[in-house]
Amino acid sequence: MQFSKSVERVIAFTVENASTTAERAAQSLAAKLVQVEGLKTFPVVAQKTMAILSDPDFEIAEVSRIVSEDPALGARVMRVANSAFYSRGMKVASFEQAVVRLGRIAVREVVAGAATMGLFPDSTGIGKAFRDHCAATASVAKTLARDLAPALEDGAFLTGLLHDIGKLLILSAGDPLYGRQDAAMLLTPDRTHLIELDELGFDHAALAGQILWHWQIPDPVPQIVAWHHQPALAYTEPVVDVVTAFLRIADHVEPMLAANEEHALSFIDLFAAGPDCRFTGVSADDLRRAWPQMIAARDESLSLFGENVARA
């Protein structure tokens, strides 16, 4: 897709959702998109692999040959494929085996996730905190979906992994915005996008959604990422609605997994009464039951994507 087309879509989208500052916001977002595009190029091999895997009649040998052109990506893919999330105790030794064992959709998700996280290998400070939160949210969303809505499990990991990459993109573009904010506030769910809207005219969700479309990350992932701070909008769109709701639950739960038991329990009761849990039917009992698995999954995810292993 031509990048100018993507920018046109931003402007169309923003004007459709017009506010008094819509035009300025669209121009500001378009300018940031062009800047970010110059800084981060999605790996061609990953893009080709995902395109082939979007065809149900793909040939394993062809995918395998293309992945072998980017050994670093291949290594990252194998690392994720052999993690507890995907392998379920049965390790795979080759990319072909990964495709057979995990299936076409899951491998496409792993390739997209591994390639995207590989774009941010040197995150430090608040950037590392953002990246860790993405990795941990992915595992929490997948664990919850596996337990409560298995049909959504495939999409949950990737949307969680990518949901806040807009913040990493804003950071890598050298924007000083986050440096002026309190770090604890930046890591509080549903807060940072309000500051971004105020100061930049757009938020990290809209920026990431557009970039993911441009990188040809499969639908509906870009739309879910774009709307993850606009539940009122997302909850009117079939398919997008329920995956967004699980993502939002994981987004709020993830920071609480490190809290002490008393704090966590009072959070669960309060949060389960809120709109995201009500929309999906996730109860306080569901969250309490899944809590230990979510903690274990979070640890696994941080060891996969934290500590600059995205470089591996």
Q: Which residues bind Fe ion (CB under 5 A)?
A: 164, 251
Nearer to Fe ion (CB atom), residue 130 or residue 291: 130
The Cα 100–Cα 117 span in angstroms is: 24
Tokens of 111: 């390739």
Q: How far is the CB of 226 from Fe ion (least distance, A)?
A: 10
Measured distance CA(281)–CA(276) in Å, rounded: 9
Q: C-beta of 164: minimal distance to Fe ion in Å? A: 4
Least distance (Å) between residue 264 CB and Fe ion:
18
Of 251 and 276, nearer to Fe ion (C-beta) is: 251
Nearest distance in Å: CB 295, Fe ion: 18
Q: How far is the CB of 228 from Fe ion (least distance, A)?
A: 6
Among 168, 180, 188, residue whose Cα is nearest residue 127 = 168
Tokens of 80: 């994720």
CB 30 within 8 A of CB 211: no
Residue whose CB is less far from Fe ion, 109 or 164? 164
DSSP string, 256-278: GGGS-HHHHHHHHHHHHTSHHHH
Residue 214 and residue 208: Cα distance in Å, rounded?
Answer: 10
For residue 132, give the amino acid letter.
D
**47 or 139, CB closer to Fe ion?**
139
Distance CA 196, CA 11 (A): 18
Give the relative orientation of helices 261-272 and 240-253 as an angle to the nearest 10 degrees: 150
Cβ closer to Fe ion: 119 or 312? 119
